[in-house]
């Protein structure tokens, strides 16, 4: 009888404590929503300012200054000059818990903006020796503004916060300038995930063809690896009227391009994962009646499986080498280091999916298919478990077919989608700490 009474009181106490924990969690979530809503106009204002003043990779000086000043105003410990222009903020909560990192990329693209909006960019800069326009044509301005908002939200619940939050504002996601290092890879090399050691990392990307209020995610490979390649073909120059007196690298280039199309269609198990081999550049010759000595080609390789990636490398090397030899042409193939697969840890994704569904709505957060775009967020995920999800930025009711793609002059994001991003990242931090 005494044992039963003891068990009863233990269960009763456990139930009371669990109920109190749930009430505390609910209050924290409500506070997150209240603060997020109260600063929505500030987040939009930050986004407009950053959009109007875009900066190219490894040159995000003013953007970094704006971020650092905001974090310092919140009492957050700030590190600057990380991987050239990166900013890292460290917020220590009032309770013990894990170290959670949140990442936003800062760089813009060499694109001339064509959208007629009040905060349109008219900035100019130099890219690879060329005079270019500069535009946030991939939405990194929204990422920065959202994470600045999250920093303010979590600072506002600092006493209830379990653990530590690292706010990582990353330069050069689009790739460092020629001859420079940069991006997530350099941040990892410089120890951004250390001191304190990060347990898990979350990140998002705005999507121009996904309606506002929506979130999509996928466990496992969600974005492809990306490797560029270059091919140099050396033949023998001759008059175009007498091709037998030379060795034609242009014909060889054409055969290589055609033969390479069989890599994906005939060598890869496409029911397993997707892959792409694309030639994007070919240069050779100066006039119609001269067969040139040299042709240069460039392209990109995308894969969602590392075994398939290795097979692509092997098949491309074989095709280039053998096709060139068959035409008596010398060939040089270089496959350049690139981005790994953006891989969402399946266990972490399953654990945090209820948070995304609760914040966006059960029918507004859903699993989607992988895409062959790439993200250097993948370098963080190679070191610690990570979850990368997509956030809707397309105006309600618009047909996705009519929405301009990323990296184009007409790229457009609806500001009203930013609030969900602030709420989603803030809740992921709090919920992960509760589940840890």
Active site residues: 107, 173
C-alpha 43/C-alpha 147 separation (Å) is 9
346: left (phi over 0), alpha (psi -120 to 50) or beta: alpha
Length of the chain, please? 436
Angle between helical axes of 2-38 and 140-156 (0-180°, round to 10): 130
**Secondary structure string (H, E, C) spanning 282-310:** EEECCCCCEECCEEEEEEEEEECCHHHHH
Sign of CA dihedral 178, 137, 423, 360: negative
HSE (side-chain half, CA atoms, 13 Å) at 432: 30
> 408 forms bridges with which residues in the sheet?
none
- The conformation of residue 323, written as its DSSP 8-state character, comes to H
Nearest to 121 by CA among 131, 111, 107, 130: 111
The answer to whether 236 touches 292, Cβ cutoff 8 Å, is no
Alpha helix (H) ranges present in 114-160? 140-156
DSSP strands (E only) in 66-194: 77-82, 86-92, 95-105, 124-127, 130-133, 162-170
Nearest to 229 by CA among 263, 266, 199, 184: 263
C-alpha 54/C-alpha 50 separation (Å) is 6
């Amino acid at each position: 009888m005494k044992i039963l009474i003891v068990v009863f009181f233990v269960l009763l106490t456990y139930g009371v404590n669990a109920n109190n924990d749930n009430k505390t969690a609910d209050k924290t979530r409500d506070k997150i929503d209240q603060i997020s809503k109260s600063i929505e106009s500030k987040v939009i204002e930050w986004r407009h300012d950053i959009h109007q003043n875009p900066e190219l990779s490894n040159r995000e000086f003013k953007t970094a200054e704006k971020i650092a000043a905001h974090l310092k105003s919140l009492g957050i410990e700030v590190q600057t000059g990380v991987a050239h222009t990166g900013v890292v903020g460290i917020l220590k909560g009032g309770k013990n818990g894990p170290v959670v990192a949140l990442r936003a990329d800062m760089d813009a693209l060499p694109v001339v903006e064509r959208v007629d909006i009040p905060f349109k960019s008219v900035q100019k800069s130099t890219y690879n020796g060329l005079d270019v326009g500069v535009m946030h044509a991939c939405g990194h301005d929204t990422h920065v503004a959202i994470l600045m908002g999250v920093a303010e939200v979590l600072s506002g619940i600092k006493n209830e916060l379990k653990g530590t939050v690292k706010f990582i504002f990353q330069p050069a996601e689009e790739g460092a300038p020629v001859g420079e290092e940069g991006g997530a890879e350099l941040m990892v090399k410089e120890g951004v995930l250390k001191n304190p050691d990060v347990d898990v990392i979350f990140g998002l990307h705005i999507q121009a063809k996904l309606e506002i209020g929506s979130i999509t995610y996928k466990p496992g490979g969600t974005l492809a690896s990306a490797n560029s390649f270059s091919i140099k073909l050396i033949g023998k120059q001759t008059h175009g009227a007498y091709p037998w007196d030379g060795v034609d690298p242009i014909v060889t280039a054409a055969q290589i391009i055609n033969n390479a199309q069989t890599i994906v269609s005939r060598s890869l198990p496409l029911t397993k994962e997707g892959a792409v081999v694309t030639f994007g550049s070919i240069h050779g010759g100066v006039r119609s009646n001269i067969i040139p000595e040299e042709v240069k080609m460039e392209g990109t390789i995308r894969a969602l499986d590392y075994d398939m990636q290795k097979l692509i490398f092997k098949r491309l090397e074989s095709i280039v080498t053998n096709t060139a030899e068959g035409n008596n042409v010398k060939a040089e193939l270089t496959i350049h280091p690139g981005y790994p697969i953006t891989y969402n840890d399946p266990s972490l994704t399953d654990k945090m999916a209820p948070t995304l569904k609760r914040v966006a709505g059960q029918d507004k957060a859903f699993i989607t298919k992988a895409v062959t775009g790439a993200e250097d967020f993948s370098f963080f995920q190679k070191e610690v478990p990570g979850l990368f999800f997509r956030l809707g930025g397309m105006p309600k009711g618009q047909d996705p077919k009519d929405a301009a793609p990323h990296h184009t002059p007409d790229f457009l994001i609806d500001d009203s989608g930013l609030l969900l991003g602030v709420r989603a990242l803030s809740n992921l931090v709090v919920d992960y700490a509760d589940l840890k």
